[in-house]
Chains A and B, each alone.
Chain A
Amino acid sequence: MEIINIIQGAISLLLILALAPMLVGIVNKQKAVFTGRIGAPILQPYYDLKRLFRKETINANSSSMISRISPVINIVTVILAAAMLPVGFAKPLISFNGDIIVFAYILGLARFFQILAAMDIGSSFEGMGASREATFAVFAEPIFFFTIGSIAFISNYTSIYDIYQSIRLDNLSFIIFIIVCSTSVSILAITECSRMPVDDPNTHLELTMIHEVMILDNSGIDLFLYQYSSYIKLAIYAILETSFFYPLGVKNYPLGLLIFIVIILFLSVALALAETITARFKLKSIPQYLLFATAIGILNLLIYTFTK
C-alpha cells in the first residue's frame, strides 16, 4: 500500500507540475474565444517558459540577496504546497495531521518573499504593488481558515487529504454547505491567483496591477521561476475547488483521475467566463469583497457547529 501511495502521490505532483501551464493556456484561449479573437495557442505558456529559460537574468543595482533567493523560495514552497494536495483522491506525497496550517503558511511564505523582493528592487512601482498585495493577503487569510477550517471542525480531521475524504454529499443541508464553502474558496482563489475581479492579469498599467507589478523588473530565470510558480498556484487553487465536488466521482484511481480533470476543465470554463464578463473592482471595494467571503465562512461555521 505504501509504495502505491507514494507512486500515486508522485504521479499527482508530476501531473500538476507538467499540466499547470496548460491550464493557464486553456483559460487564456477560452477568454480569447469568448471575446471573438483567435488568441494564442493553448501551449503558449510552455513556449513563454522556454523562452524565458534561455534569457539572461538581470538584477537591479540596488537589490540585495533577497532578490536572488526569492524566486527560488517561491518555486520550492509552491511545489511543496502542491505536494500536499489530493489529485483524484490519491494520497498526496506530504500528508500529516495539521497540514492545513502548513499549507496556508507555506503559501504565505512564498508571498512574503515575493513582497520583500518587490520592495527590495527599490522602485516605487513595485512598492505600490507590494503594499496592495500585503493588504489583500491580510483580508484573504481568514477566508481560508474559516471555510476549510469549518469543514475540519465538522469532520474532526486536520489533514487536507482526510478533510476532503470525509466529505459525503448525502443530505441537502450538507450539499448547500459545501456549495457555499466552495463559493468562498473561489473568491479566495481569485484573490490569491490575482485574477479578475481582484487583479487584471493582462494589463500592465500602474492603476490596475497587483501581481504583475511585483515581478515587473525581473527577467530570465527569475521571471521563469515566478511565472511557473504562479501557474502552479492557479492549479493548486483549482484542485482545492474541484475536490469539493469530487465525491460525485468514483474511487477507482484512473477513472477518478479522468473525472477530476474533466471537473477542472469545467472550472476553467467558469473562470474564463467570469474573467470576460466582470470588470475589476475599485481597489477600495476589494476588502469588503473579501470580508463578504469571510462572512459567508463565519456564517457556515456558526450554523454547522452550533447545531451539531
Chain B
Amino acid sequence: MENVLSILFCLSLFYLAITLRLRTYVTFLRMQGILLSVLLIFPFINHFSVHALIIPAILFVVKVVLIPKYINKIITDMDIRKSIEPTIQQFSFLLIVIFTMILIFLGSSVLSKSTDIAPIPFASGFSAIVVGLYIIIFRKSLIVHVVGFLVLENGIFLFGLSVASEMPMLIEIGTLLDVFVVVFLMGIALNKISTTISGSDATALRRLKD
C-alpha cells in the first residue's frame, strides 16, 4: 500500500512541475498531506488504538487544514496574479524533473540491495525533496518558494517514513509545530513584503548586495 501512495505522491510532483496556477499548488499540498496521513494510519488499520491515531490526526490538521488555509489567505491578501510566470519553459522543467526521478529511482533500487529500506517510498521522498528544491530554484514568486519549502518538508517526512526511524511522539509533534510556525512567520513576512516592496518576486529582493 505504501507503494501505491508513493506513486500517487510522485504523480502529484509531476503535476506540480507543470502547473501554473497558484491555487493548484495549494490543492496539491492538501493532497500530499492527505496521502501522508493515510500512510501513517495504514500500518495500524487492523488494530485501532487511540495512541496510534494522535500523530496522523495532528499531521492531518496541520498539513491539510491549517497550512493550506493560511497560504490561501496569504494569496488572497496579497492579491497577486493567479498564475505565475515561469523562468524556464514548463516543458524543460518537467523534463528535468523526469530525468532526476529516473536517476533517483535507479539509485534507490541499487541501494535497496545493500540496505534494508523500502525502495519506493525512499525514492519518492527523495524526489519530493529534489522537486521542492527545483521549485525554489526555478520559480520567481515568493509564495511559490514557500510552497516549494513545504513540498521539501513533505518529502523529508515521506523519506523518514521509508527509513522507519522511531522518533518519540513529542519530537514529531515538535517538528510539525516548527514547520507551521515557520510558515506562519514567512506569511507575515510576505505580507509586509507585498505592502512595502513593490512586486512579490524574488527579483524584488535586491537591496542587500555587496
Direct contact of A and B (CB under 8 A): yes
**Which A residues fall within an 8 A CB radius of B?**
172-173, 176, 180, 285, 287-289, 291-292, 294-296, 298-300, 302-303, 306-307
Beta-carbon contact of B14 and A296 below 8 Å:
yes
Contact B3 A295 (CB under 8 A): no
Cβ-neighbour of B94 out of A172, A173, A295 (below 8 A): A295
**B7/A292 in contact, CB under 8 A:** no
Min CB–CB distance A192 → chain B (angstroms)? 20
Tell me which residues across on chain B come within 8 A of A307, comparing CB atoms. 3, 109, 119-120
7 contacts between A and B (CB under 8 A): A180-B11, A295-B94, A295-B97, A302-B101, A303-B3, A303-B7, A303-B105
| Minimum C-beta distance from A241 to chain B (A) | 19
B105 contact from A176, A296, A302, Cβ within 8 A: A302
Chain B residues engaging chain A, CB cutoff 8 angstroms: 1, 3-4, 7-8, 10-11, 14-15, 18, 89-91, 94-95, 97-98, 101-102, 105-106, 108-109, 119-120
With CB as the reference atom, state the residue of chain A lying closest to B2.
A173
Tell me the bound Cα distance from A287 to B11 in angstroms. 18
Provide the bound-state CA to CA distance between A172 and B101, in Å: 24
**Cα distance A285–B83 in the bound complex, in angstroms:** 14
Q: Which of B1, B7, B102, B108 is most buried by chain A, counting CB atoms within 10 A of its CB?
A: B7
Partner of B11, one of A173, A291, A294, A299: A299
Contacts of B18 in A (CB 8 A): 288-289, 291-292
Q: Which residue of B lies closest to A176 (CB)?
A: B4
- Across the interface, which residues of B come within 8 angstroms of A176, CB to CB? 4, 7-8
Q: Do A292 and B94 form a contact, CB below 8 Å, given A180-B11, A298-B102?
A: yes
**Distance in angstroms between the alpha carbons of A212 and B153 in the assembled complex:** 48
Bound complex: CA A298 to CA B120 (Å): 14
Contact B120 A303 (CB under 8 A): yes
Q: Is the CB of A172 within 8 A of B4?
A: yes
A302 CA / B119 CA spacing, docked (Å): 11
B1, B89, B105: which has the most chain A beta carbons within 10 Å?
Answer: B105
A198 → chain B, closest Cβ, in Å? 15
Which of A180, A285, A299 has most B Cβ within 10 Å? A299
Given contacts A288-B94, A300-B7, A302-B101, 17 further A-B contacts (CB under 8 A): A172-B4, A176-B8, A288-B91, A291-B91, A294-B98, A295-B97, A295-B98, A296-B14, A298-B101, A299-B11, A302-B105, A303-B7, A303-B105, A306-B106, A306-B108, A306-B119, A307-B3
Question: Closest approach, in angstroms, between the C-beta of A243 and any C-beta of chain B?
Answer: 22
- Quote the shortest CB–CB distance from A295 to chain B (angstroms): 5
- Which residue, B97, B98, B108, has most C-beta atoms of chain A within 10 A? B98
Residues of B within 8 A of A292 (CB): 14-15, 18, 94
Kindly state the separation between the CA atoms of A172 and B1 in the bound complex, as whole angstroms.
8
What residues on B are CB-neighbors of A295 within 8 Å? 14, 94, 97-98
Tell me the nearest residue of chain A to B109, going by C-beta: A306
Nearest chain B residue, comparing its CB with the CB of A174: B4
Closest CB in chain B relative to A174 CB, distance in Å? 10
A288 partner residues in chain B, CB cutoff 8 A: 18, 89-91, 94
Note all chain B residues with C-beta closer than 8 A to A298. 98, 101-102
A302 CB contacts on chain B under 8 angstroms: 101-102, 105
Contacts of A296 in B (CB 8 A): 11, 14
Question: What's the nearest-Cβ distance from chain B to residue A249, in Å?
Answer: 24
**A176-B7, A306-B119 are known contacts. Are A299 and B91 too (CB-CB below 8 A)?**
no
A298 vs B127: C-alpha distance when bound (angstroms): 14
Give A171 Cβ to nearest chain B Cβ, in Å: 10
Task: Report Cα–Cα, A303/B109, bound state, in Å.
Answer: 10
Q: How far is the CB of B37 from chain A (nearest CB, A)?
A: 18
Report yes or no: B3 in contact with A173, Cβ–Cβ below 8 A.
yes
Contacts of B11 in A (CB 8 A): 180, 296, 299
A65 to B106 Cα, complex, angstroms: 50
Min CB–CB distance A231 → chain B (angstroms): 32
B38 to chain A, nearest CB (A): 13
A-chain residues with CB within 8 Å of residue B3 when the two chains form the complex: 173, 303, 307
